[in-house]
Structure 1
Amino acid sequence: NLQSPGQIMLYLKRSGRYFPMYERILKEEGVPDDLKYVSVAESALFMARSAKDAVGLWQFIAPTAKSVGLQVDEMVDERRHPEKSTRAACTYLRNGYQSNGSWTNAVAGYNMGHENFDDNIRFQGSKNYYDLYLNEETSRYVLRIAVIKHLMEHAHEYGIIVPVGDRYNPDPTKSVKVTEPITDLAQWAKANGSTYKDVKLRNPWILKRGLPAPKSGAWAVTL
């Protein structure tokens, strides 16, 4: 909010790292561009873990993450994979839209869970988000996202200036396909001209010192 301009400045700085990727994927997935602000509301564009064990830029709990195709186990947590979690968020939002015919409802369902939102629709006999009696957080959630969008897009009107050059940029990277398990990630990194530290920082979804064999296809490890 405007009482915390530093928070808006931080959103703007972090957006330089993630928004180009969000915009590309949301367009490919047929999800409105404005819904990139859901991630800002959820995680402040930070690889966060909530008190309820929601994880990552899009704040999935483990059962929901698995339901939209993300791998979550002791070795790998794809909730922490920026691109895969973004596609998963698109799937979850699109499921809500297809169920209830409204992106507003899809966003509300993202916050409280589609099953809970659908239960409220059935019980209250309305599909209009603005007519539904919901928990306090979900009742404010859509407006919160709209406010975040407005403040980020019009920050200069409120004296919040973050030059484009001061925003965090995506680092230049390359992707290495891995089809076999990696038992020693430090040695693998060295063999590929990198370091263990760099691999871990660029791939926060890798939780341990190695990688299991992919369940299908190949891992794409960023260097």
Structure 2
Amino acid sequence: MTYRTIRQRFLLSAGSTVIMSLLLAAAANSQASTTDYGSSPRAASSANAAPGSNRDTDVQMHFWEQLTLEPKDAWSQLRDSFQWREQSLSAKAQARVDEWIDYYLESPENIAAITRRATPWLAWITQKVTERRLPGELALIPFVESSFDPGARSHRGAAGLWQFMPRTGDALGLVRNGHYDGRLDVITSTKAALDYLEMQADQWYEGDLELSLAAYNAGAGTVNKAKRRAERQGLKGEYWDLSLPQETMQYLPKLLAIATIIDTPERYGVSLPDIHSEPAFAKVKLDHSVTLAEASRLLEVDRSALAELNPGLLNGTLNAPSAQTLLVPEDVDQQVLAELSNGGNDRRTVADGSAPATYRVESGDSLSVIASRYDLSAQELMRLNAIERPEALQAGQLLTLSER
């Protein structure tokens, strides 16, 4: 049973056609995805466990959140968005799904580990999927692709939650340089993945997202050839009719299997972690560079927490214009976020009116000048900021001015 997009997409522009050409070229050399589970259930490898207000203001409340008498968690919202649970599969297709259900249930600790790893991201990804009126099952693609590890890298070069290959990411506009990899940035890569799935579905498959998922994994060229071959044999050319590479043959069954388990976890004896219905992070738009160490001091947030939320920052520094958005924990104070967004020059002051806590270095500044301005010695300023060479001071750098 196929799924056609509910909204009628506008005709692809010339720019989209160029992008699709680039994507086809990228897919010809490598597959777009890599999984942790191998090409068949029995050959699959186990996933490693990983530990896992201010709201994302651009997210609108969904109608069921306004009508329900009891607040829902992220899992309930995800289940509400499922659209494929009622599809009627052939006995052969259902057997392929059931085989993966059995496989996952052999290692429930892996399900627990992956779902814990999904904690920061699941509510936000689910909201982005449902905003597009897409099947909620697509929010679980990172389960199949990367075990919900935003820093995942495959031996073939795919990276991030959505496991984009370099050339595919390039074609979708995901910036890569020495400071930043957009494939690892959950915000940008999620948008790119959903755009890619919808664009392929409209371009090649008349809105059929199951075929688009196959193309996401194997490349549109591979799927198109298999589709034409099936149609010549008198078949409809749907996903379940196609003869594809083994990994792609297992791709949709795996996705439907984990969706089935999450839909009724009590039936399968699976315990899911508590995940709040709202995103676990806030977004700060920046037009200046900042290091995670600087942001950690200003926001009074552990640096490792910022690093976990911002895996795309390869050297721990947000360098505009490569990246403009920093993710921070949802409970960070709004005033402090505004200070960070403004470059740190609206610095907090203590109640008694003493010196500010931080200073943003400006062009022409020197350590001695800054130190004397705030009644510090240059040596003390260097110690507070772990500066080894005074001449390494750079405009835009955020300095802490006290032990507070």
Q: Shorter chain as normaliser: what TM range?
A: 0.7 to 0.9
Contact 1:45 1:57 in 2 (8 A): yes
- Aligned partner letter, 1:116: T
- Residues 4, 124 of structure 1: CA spacing in aligned structure 2 closer, same or farther, 3 A cutoff? same
1:188 shift after superposition: 5.2
Q: Give the unaligned 5+ runs of structure 2.
A: 1-103, 329-404
1:193 shift after superposition: 4.7
Q: Show CA shifts across 1:160-194 (max 9, x none).
A: 223xxx43557754433221344x55345434555
The structure showing larger relative contact order (alpha-carbon pairs under 8 Å, at least 6 residues apart) is: 1
Counterpart secondary structure, 1:57: coil
- Residues 16, 117 of structure 1: CA spacing in aligned structure 2 closer, same or farther, 3 A cutoff? same
Is 1:69 the counterpart of 2:176? The answer is no
C-alpha RMSD of the superposition: 2.5
Q: For residues 7 and 151 of structure 1, what CA distance do their matches in structure 2 show? A: 13
Counterpart secondary structure, 1:176: strand
Q: Give the unaligned 5+ runs of structure 1.
A: none
Counterpart secondary structure, 2:106: coil
Q: 1:114 aligns with which of 220, 238, 251?
A: 220
Q: For residues 33 and 171 of structure 1, what CA distance do their matches in structure 2 show? A: 16
Is 1:11 the counterpart of 2:114? The answer is yes
Identity %: 26
1:58 shift after superposition: 0.9
Q: Show CA shifts across 1:49-84 (max 9, x none).
A: 112121111111111112222112221111112222
- Aligned partner letter, 1:176: V
1:209 shift after superposition: 4.0
Is 1:157 the counterpart of 2:264? The answer is no
Q: 2:130 aligns with which of 15, 27, 47?
A: 27
**Which structure has greater helix proportion?**
1
Is 1:140 the counterpart of 2:247? The answer is no
Matches within 5 A, 1:185-196: 185-187=292-294, 189-191=296-298, 193-194=300-301, 196=303
- Residues 43, 186 of structure 1: CA spacing in aligned structure 2 closer, same or farther, 3 A cutoff? same
- Aligned partner letter, 1:58: W
* Partner residue in 2 for 1:222: 327
- Residues 171, 115 of structure 1: CA spacing in aligned structure 2 closer, same or farther, 3 A cutoff? same
Is 1:39 the counterpart of 2:149? The answer is no
- Normalising by structure 2, what TM-score? 0.49
Q: Show CA shifts across 1:20-63 (max 9, x none).
A: 11111112234221111222111111121112121111111111
Q: For residues 143 and 194 of structure 1, what CA distance do their matches in structure 2 show? A: 41
Contact 2:140 2:255 in 1 (8 A): yes
Q: For residues 68 and 198 of structure 1, what CA distance do their matches in structure 2 show? A: 28
Task: Compare CA radii of gyration and give the structure with the larger one.
Answer: 2
Contact 2:123 2:279 in 1 (8 A): no
Q: For residues 52 and 188 of structure 1, what CA distance do their matches in structure 2 show? A: 34
Contact 1:56 1:79 in 2 (8 A): yes
